């Protein structure tokens, strides 16, 4: 089950770890350079998973009881080890990327301030309290307590506030703000250059921040005596600001944002073909050298303690290698069977790419067809991706509840969400559709749906209410 959850991107590393830890496991010579291949021929039947790997050999018939119960009271070293846990003294160095972090950038700027050692330590404590998105959400009193208890530095809230004001002058603009309102105001005040629209934007965020976030533009216009053109200028100034000043600084590891598909579905003349990513199907086998060593030891003396430990060690490693090979093959079979069943169930979608053709499908439907446990199907659906000619999708995308139409037909909620999304996308932004109007339009199309259900689907699509979608 653990191997099933391992993403394809990490499976190769997991296999390499096993190869390094177990000398009885090896990759076939013609596949040593193929662990990184991106495609794999289609698995046409289960027989491909059940090819002989050489694990069922003469070594399985070797009786090791003579080694285990030969009257030696000492316990072999391998008996005292638990392979499920690493050795306590194991010193493993994990690789990590090196880059300048957001906090490093702030500390570099802090070094440009001419301050004494005590003030610098207080400022470093403040910088260390800033979140990755650039906000200082820790209370000033809490920072003072941290300095007193951890660094034995007595300070006042006024002194800390003074340093916070200096740090708020650092780049990127808006850093060390306590909330969104302060963050945006810091940025506007820094770009203040006599522009009337900037002054108006500062007034709006200072006195009418809540009204602005809720798009109660009429209240803002009445309160500040602004016409439509002036309000548009204010909005243009504010929407150009950065609500998360720290988010643009930290570099994103592009490799982490790539999706490596676990499956490939191709359409060949109207016939769908499924294939596994080759990283899911490495050619592993048990080392011939280790099997030969076991046979050689078996022919020798069975009274020698060192030979006894050698036999037990080799047998243990061969058994572990056999187990790992079987687990990898079982993983392949589970992945393939699950995806093939999903492909058959959502056949029309994989042919057309039209989301409205998706059928209602829950985990139980696939579990019953594959004779797998629902939890197993869930593990596959939550962590795996399939590449189609219409894009790459997480398997979870294809699962949805059902909704009935006027004709009594069961349709996927995914279909309803797609139509709902299209209706909102095509609406007039000056007069967006309310949830009541959206409900009426969906009911006109034959879907039995309540207003609260429309609101729930809209929220799941991360679409705001009509008032917040309104544009001038």
- pLDDT reported for residue 141: 92
Which of 281, 257, 242, 266 lies closest to 36 in space, CA to CA?
Answer: 281
Classify each residue of 382-392 as buried b or exposed e, where b means 16 or more C-beta atoms within 10 Å of its C-beta: ebbbbbbeeee
- pLDDT reported for residue 60: 54
Q: Residue 302's pLDDT band (boundaries 50, 70, 90)?
A: low
Q: What's the gap between Cα 54 and its chain centre?
A: 38
> Which value, to the nearest 10 degrees, does the dihedral of the CA atoms of residues 185, 189, 194, 195 take?
-30
Cα angle value 70/75/77 (rounded, 5°): 125
- pLDDT reported for residue 298: 63
Percent of the chain with pLDDT over 90: 18
Least confident span in 182-196, 231-245, 248-262, 284-298: 248-262
Mean pLDDT of 9-33: 74
- pLDDT reported for residue 180: 92
pLDDT at 68 over 50: no
Q: How far apart (Å, rounded) are the C-alpha atoms in residues 214 and 436?
A: 20
Mean pLDDT of 186-209: 87
- pLDDT reported for residue 71: 46
Could you read off the pLDDT of 102-121 as tens digits, one per residue? 888 888 888 887 678 899 89
Contact assessment for residue 423 and residue 434, using Cβ atoms and an 8 Å cutoff: no
- pLDDT reported for residue 40: 43
Contact assessment for residue 132 and residue 250, using Cβ atoms and an 8 Å cutoff: yes
Contact assessment for residue 11 and residue 281, using Cβ atoms and an 8 Å cutoff: no
Task: Tell me the average pLDDT of the chain.
Answer: 79
- pLDDT reported for residue 343: 93
Least confident span in 47-61, 177-191, 357-371: 47-61
Q: At what angle do helices 413-425 and 435-444 cross, to 10 degrees?
A: 120
Please give the backbone phi and psi of residue 74, each rounded to the nearest 5 degrees, phi first.
-75, 145
Q: Residue 142's pLDDT band (boundaries 50, 70, 90)?
A: very high
Q: Which residue has the higher pLDDT, 98 or 25?
A: 25
Least confident span in 46-50, 87-91, 330-334, 460-464: 46-50
Could you read off the pLDDT of 405-431 as tens digits, one per residue? 766 667 778 788 888 988 998 888 888
Longest dimension (CA), the chain: 102
Mean pLDDT of 116-128: 90
Which of 119, 199, 173 lies closest to 151 in space, CA to CA?
Answer: 119
pLDDT at 52 over 80: no
Could you read off the pLDDT of 219-230 as tens digits, one per residue? 988 888 988 888
pLDDT at 403 over 80: no
Q: How far apart (Å, rounded) are the C-alpha atoms in residues 49 and 327?
A: 11
Beta-carbon-side half-sphere exposure of residue 469 (alpha carbons within 13 Å): 17
Cis peptide before 469 (omega within 30 of 0): no
Q: List, in sequence order, the alpha helices (H) in 130-259.
A: 140-150, 157-167, 180-190, 196-207, 209-213, 217-224, 228-239, 254-257
The strand pair at 385-388 and 263-268 is best described as parallel
Could you read off the pLDDT of 78-106 as tens digits, one per residue? 455 555 545 544 444 545 445 567 888 88
Q: Residue 184's pLDDT band (boundaries 50, 70, 90)?
A: very high
Q: Which CATH class is domain 401-469?
A: mainly alpha
Least confident span in 90-104, 382-396, 457-471: 90-104
Domain regions of the chain by residue span: 2-51+59-68+259-370, 102-167, 180-239, 401-469
Could you read off the pLDDT of 239-259 as tens digits, one per residue? 889 998 887 655 444 445 577
- pLDDT reported for residue 45: 42
Classify each residue of 286-302 as buried b or exposed e, where b means 16 or more C-beta atoms within 10 Å of its C-beta: bbeebbebbeebbeeee
Which of 151, 136, 71, 81 lies closest to 106 in space, CA to CA?
Answer: 136
Which of 172, 184, 158 lies closest to 130 in space, CA to CA?
Answer: 172
Least confident span in 97-106, 180-189, 434-443: 97-106
């Amino acid at each position: 089950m653990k191997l099933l959850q391992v993403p394809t991107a990490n499976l190769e590393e997991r296999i390499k770890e096993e190869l390094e830890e177990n000398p009885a496991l090896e990759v076939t010579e013609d596949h040593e350079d193929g662990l990184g291949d991106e495609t794999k021929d289609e698995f046409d039947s289960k027989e491909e998973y059940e090819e002989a790997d050489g694990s069922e050999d003469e070594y399985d018939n070797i009786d090791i009881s003579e080694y285990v119960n030969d009257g030696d009271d000492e316990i072999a070293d391998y008996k005292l080890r638990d392979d499920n846990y690493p050795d306590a003294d194991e010193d493993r160095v994990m690789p990590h990327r090196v880059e300048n972090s957001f906090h490093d950038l702030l500390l570099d700027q802090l070094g440009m301030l001419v301050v004494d050692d005590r003030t610098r330590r207080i400022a470093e404590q403040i910088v260390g309290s800033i979140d990755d998105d650039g906000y200082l959400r820790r209370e000033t009193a809490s920072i003072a307590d941290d300095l007193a208890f951890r660094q034995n530095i007595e300070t006042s809230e006024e002194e800390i506030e003074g340093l916070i004001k200096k740090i708020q002058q650092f780049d990127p603009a808006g850093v060390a703000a306590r909330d969104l309102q302060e963050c945006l105001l810091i940025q506007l005040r820094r770009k203040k250059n006599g522009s009337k629209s900037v002054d108006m934007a500062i007034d709006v965020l200072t006195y009418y921040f809540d009204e602005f976030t809720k798009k109660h533009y009429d209240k803002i216009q009445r309160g500040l005596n602004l016409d439509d053109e002036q309000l548009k200028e204010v909005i243009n100034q504010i929407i150009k600001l950065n609500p998360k000043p720290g988010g643009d600084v930290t570099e994103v590891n592009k490799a982490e944002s790539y999706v490596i598909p676990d499956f490939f579905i191709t359409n060949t003349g109207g016939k769908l073909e499924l294939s596994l990513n080759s990283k899911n199907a490495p050619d592993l086998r048990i080392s011939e050298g280790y099997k030969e060593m076991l046979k050689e030891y078996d022919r020798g003396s069975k009274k020698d303690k060192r030979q006894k430990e050698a036999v037990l060690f080799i047998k243990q490693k061969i058994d572990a290698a056999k187990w790992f090979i079987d687990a990898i093959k079982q993983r392949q079979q589970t992945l393939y069977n699950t995806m093939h069943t999903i492909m058959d169930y959502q056949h029309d979608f994989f042919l057309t790419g039209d989301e409205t053709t998706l059928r209602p499908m829950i985990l139980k439907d696939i579990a019953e067809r594959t004779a797998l446990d629902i939890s197993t199907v869930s593990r596959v659906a939550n962590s795996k991706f399939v590449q189609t000619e219409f894009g790459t999708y997480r398997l979870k995308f294809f699962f949805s509840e059902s909704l009935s139409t006027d004709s009594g037909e069961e349709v996927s909620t995914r279909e309803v969400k797609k139509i709902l999304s299209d209706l909102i996308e095509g609406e007039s932004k000056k007069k967006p559709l309310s949830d009541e109007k959206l409900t009426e339009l969906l009911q006109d199309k034959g879907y039995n749906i309540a207003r609260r259900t429309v609101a729930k689907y809209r929220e799941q699509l991360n679409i705001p209410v009509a008032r917040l979608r309104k544009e001038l």
